[in-house]
Structure 1
Amino acid sequence: MVTRHFPWALRLLGCIVAASSSISATLLWLAPPPPGPRVLDPQVLKPTVVLLLAVLGVAVPLAALVTKAIKYPLLKAAIFALAAFTNAMTLGPELVVPLQDFLSTLAEVCALALTVASLLVYMDRVQSRQASAT
């Protein structure tokens, strides 16, 4: 069942991840630099986080959507896990801005759901190979 609905879910949830991440990155870019970090320079922290979010939260998941959805499920799981963790990184109290926290949480939940679905597809594929081998 997961294998049958996986391409549709990948495209829908992947679009939500990419859109939410891009709006979140825009909101972070437009916000003033964070006032509080003592160890990290706020002038470097904000562009670094926005760049990571743009690459790992938007560009890489969009590239995953263009490729065949079911061909490399472990690669898809890794891509969406990275997108989820990148969005989770932006939820720190020093960085978070209004509305961005909701969008990053939405992107994180959708990316984690796609990670789990990708792992289920991989396990289904391995199980079917073992059944056909015996």
Structure 2
Amino acid sequence: MITHFYPAALRILTCIVAVCSAVSATLLGTAPPPEGLSVLDPADLRTTVVVLTMALGVVTPVAMMIADPLKCLLLKAGVFAASGFGNAMMLSPLLVVPFQQTPTAVAVTSSVAVTLVSIVTYMESVERRNARRRANT
């Protein structure tokens, strides 16, 4: 059942993840560097987090959306899990800027949703394959 709706859910949730990640990275990139860091350079930390968020939250999920929706499901689950963790690092109290928490939380939630749906779809395909194998023997 989930396999039927998976391609549409993948497209919708990937667009949500990409847009919310881009908004969050833009808000952090335009904000002044974080204060209160004595060991790390605040400007370098901000730049690193913005680049990682753009890579893990925008580029990689969109690349996964371009591929066939029902292929490489475990890879898609791993990519979206990494995207969720990448966006979750933006929720650190040292990095967060005003209005950034909402798009970041939406991106994390959507990434986790795609991860779970990808795993369930993979398990459903394995069950169907095993049922066909049993029927043929």
Same fold by TM (over 0.5)? yes
Name the CA distance, whole Å, in 1 between partners of 2:39 and 2:81. Answer: 27
Q: Which amino acid aligns with 2:27?
A: L
**Residue in 2 that maps onto 1:126:** 126
Give me the whole-angstrom Cα distance separating, in 2, the residues matched to 1:76 and 1:83. Answer: 10
Matched length: 134
Q: Which secondary structure does the structure 1 equivalent of 2:130 belong to? A: helix
Structure with greater Cα Rg: 2
Deviation by residue 1:70-117 (Cα, 9 ceiling, x = unmatched): 111101101111111000000000000111111000000001000000
Which residues of 2 match residues 89-128 of structure 1 at below 5 A? 89-128=89-128
Spell out the pairing of 1:28-43 with structure 2 (5 A cutoff): 28-43=28-43
Mind listing any 5+ residue stretches in structure 1 that lack a counterpart? none
Q: CA offsets per residue over residues 32-63 of structure 1, 9 Å max, x none?
A: 00002333221210000000001010000111
Structure 2 regions of 5+ residues with no counterpart? none
RMSD: 0.9
TM-score, normalization by structure 2? 0.94
The residue type equivalent to 1:23 in the other structure is V
Q: What is aligned with 2:57?
A: 57
Which residue in the other structure is 1:70 paired with?
Answer: 70
The alignment partner of 2:91 has SS state of coil
Which residue pairs with 1:81 in the alignment?
81
